[in-house]
Amino acid sequence: MSSDKMHIGNAAAFAFDRTDVGIPVVESLISSGKPSALFYETLAERTLAFAQRERLSDPEKGYSPNIAGFVGPVLQRCIESAVPIIGNFGAANPMGAARRLHTLAKEFGISGLRVAVVDGDDLRENIRGLQTKQWGKEKPLDLANTKILSANVYMGSQPIADALDQEPHIVVTGRVTDSALALGPLMHHFDWASDDWDKMAAGVLAGHLLECGAQITGGYYADPGRKNVPGLANVGFPIAEVNEDGSLIISKPNGTGGVVNTRTVKEQILYEVDDPANYLTPDVTLDISEVEVEQVGLDRVRVSGAKGKPAPDNWKVTISVDGGWLGEGEISYAGPNALARAKLAAQTIRERVDILGLDCDLRTDLIGTISIHDGDTGQLTRSFSGEPQEVRMRAAANANDEATAALVAREVESLYCAGPAGGGGVRRNTTWRVKTGSVLVPNKDVKPRITMVTEDDI
């Protein structure tokens, strides 16, 4: 008979999240005395392309770069308290991630580590041979004569639940849906059937609420004077206390900063959701249109009413190809007539791009007026009336080649001596871009694989 409750904690929402937030989450999970799991979400949509490139330069790399920083502070406590860690740290090299975790354990003097690797998501080699369908209304990428940098299918929670049957300390995955990192342990613990759609929906909702970490505990929310959040510098990462019936309470560790209220929860429920009645995942089609939230205590919000419909037969694959180069340069003007001097700087850059005959798409911004909300045509910026004390001119260019992008950025630096008066603080960079697109593949063509990696395998 499984326990009536399971606690799921989250300690990372992306690869560059804080690394000290896992400790209070783990202590809270342990002190609850309930069966628990901790998960890390570190794979953004384009991460796989960058990870594949890293693996090409070093076959042992290509997993989440900060894996040791995330897992190190909590590994000992999680092992001794039987709190499994689940993370999509694998990226382009799940086996490499498992080996890194073993060396990490060795550094801490921990023996007997068991890491389950879930992969089978990497379709780079065979995507051209699969029967794919268009993803929604999205215009498909033109893959003819193009090198595919990465192609990974979003797998669901079943392989994670199955991996947990083998009692690993850590489950490392490649690409799975973010919510599967929470639903997997819930399925394993409650023995939920994969076609019990309302339970699958509840578990996906739990994962969806947790996967962005502090975004449900006051991060990406605080707005001084109306949405006040105490202690953002020490914001607690979230915990879902999930009941067997799928209802749950969102909370955070005692003694941490942040806030959990119906407003933070509502903002996160709808975050990155298209049609709320049809949130598609490989596990279930989630309907959150009937969900209700209720404050049941300090920093405790009850969430209930998730409904499930059958999962789709086709799963989403995200494909990455080369996206050219972005060159950016910025320079500041301050004091009297700052805006006019910044405008002259922008105009000068546009003329320089013409004079040099650079083949690129150029945008200039006047930061400090209205820029970030504007389109590329500068309509809102022109409507700005005011005399700001300082303005930062930014030029950004997309080009097919690195040299052109870098040259636009360097032209901004040239403004030091050859531009308007009193320009200072130039920063510039040139960045390789990745373009992504998505297609659907029949789920029968996806073969998840589970491999247990023990000390003996290293």
Partner 1 sequence: MTYDGKVEVPLYEIAHGRTGDKGDRSTLSIIPYDPSAYAVIAEQATEERMLAMFRHRGATEARRYDLPNLQAFNFVIENVLQGGVNSSLNLDGHGKTLSFLALTMTVLVTPEVLEAAKIAISE
User: Does residue 292 interact with partner 1 by CB under 8 A?
Assistant: yes
Q: What is the DSSP string of 376-425?
A: TT-HHHHH-----SEEEEEEEEEESSHHHHHHHHHHHHHHHHHSSTT-EE
Q: In this complex, which beta carbon is closest to partner 1, that of residue 68 or of residue 141?
A: 141
Touching partner 1, residues 43-102 (CB under 8 A): 45-46
Contact 334, 389 (CB under 8 A): yes
Q: In this complex, which beta carbon is closest to partner 1, that of residue 359 or of residue 457?
A: 359
User: Does residue 143 interact with partner 1 by CB under 8 A?
Assistant: no
**With 0-12 CB in 10 A as exposed, 13-18 as middle and 19+ as buried, what is 129?**
exposed
Alpha-carbon distance values, 446 to 65, 119, 177, 439 (Å):
27, 10, 14, 14
- Angstrom distance (rounded) from CA 451 to CA 286: 30
- Angstrom distance (rounded) from CA 123 to CA 280: 20
Per-residue x/- mask for partner 1, residues 2 to 41, rule CB under 8 A?
Answer: ----------------------------------------
User: Does residue 430 interact with partner 1 by CB under 8 A?
Assistant: no
**With 0-12 CB in 10 A as exposed, 13-18 as middle and 19+ as buried, what is 275?**
exposed
Touching partner 1, residues 153-212 (CB under 8 A): none
In this structure, the number of other CB atoms found within 10 A of the CB of residue 250 comes to 24
- Phi first, then psi, for residue 308 (nearest 5°) are -120, 145
Q: In this complex, which beta carbon is closest to partner 1, that of residue 170 or of residue 291?
A: 291
- Angstrom distance (rounded) from CA 236 to CA 117: 29
Q: In this complex, which beta carbon is closest to partner 1, that of residue 33 or of residue 425?
A: 425
**CA 390 from centre of chain:** 34
Q: Give the nearest distance from C-beta 18 to partner 1 in angstroms.
A: 18
Contact 113, 169 (CB under 8 A): yes
Given candidates 291, 306, 342, 415, which one binds partner 1 under the rule CB under 8 A?
Answer: 291
Candidate ranges 113-121, 250-258, 413-421, 430-438; the one touching partner 1 (CB under 8 A): 430-438
Touching partner 1, residues 350-389 (CB under 8 A): 361-363, 365, 367, 371-377, 379-380
Q: Give the nearest distance from C-beta 320 to partner 1 in angstroms.
A: 9
Q: Give the nearest distance from C-beta 265 to partner 1 in angstroms.
A: 9
In this structure, the number of other CB atoms found within 10 A of the CB of residue 85 comes to 26
Q: Count the residues of the shown chain that bind partner 1, applying the rule CB under 8 A.
A: 55
Contact 179, 311 (CB under 8 A): no
Touching partner 1, residues 230-249 (CB under 8 A): none
**How does strand 307-309 pair with strand 300-304?**
unpaired
Alpha-carbon distance values, 245 to 44, 66, 159, 203, 242 (Å):
31, 36, 22, 10, 8
Touching partner 1, residues 299-328 (CB under 8 A): 305, 323-324, 326
User: Does residue 434 interact with partner 1 by CB under 8 A?
Assistant: yes
Q: Give the nearest distance from C-beta 227 to partner 1 in angstroms.
A: 6
Given candidates 50, 154, 221, 333, which one binds partner 1 under the rule CB under 8 A?
Answer: 221
Candidate ranges 2-10, 178-186, 282-290, 348-356; the one touching partner 1 (CB under 8 A): 282-290
Q: Which of 45, 32, 50, 104 is CA-nearest to residue 73?
A: 104
Given candidates 68, 110, 232, 273, which one binds partner 1 under the rule CB under 8 A?
Answer: 273
Q: Give the nearest distance from C-beta 292 to partner 1 in angstroms.
A: 5
Q: In this complex, which beta carbon is closest to partner 1, that of residue 36 or of residue 404?
A: 404
- Angstrom distance (rounded) from CA 62 to CA 51: 4
Given candidates 181, 187, 209, 293, which one binds partner 1 under the rule CB under 8 A?
Answer: 293
Q: In this complex, which beta carbon is closest to partner 1, that of residue 226 or of residue 444?
A: 226
**With 0-12 CB in 10 A as exposed, 13-18 as middle and 19+ as buried, what is 420?**
buried
CA angle 361-434-353, nearest 5°? 20
Given candidates 267, 402, 445, 455, which one binds partner 1 under the rule CB under 8 A?
Answer: 267
Q: In this complex, which beta carbon is closest to partner 1, that of residue 15 or of residue 453?
A: 15
Q: In this complex, which beta carbon is closest to partner 1, that of residue 195 or of residue 361?
A: 361
Which parts of this chain interact with partner 1 (CB under 8 A)? 45-46, 137-138, 220-221, 223, 226-227, 263, 266-277, 288-293, 305, 323-324, 326, 361-363, 365, 367, 371-377, 379-380, 394, 396-398, 433-436, 438
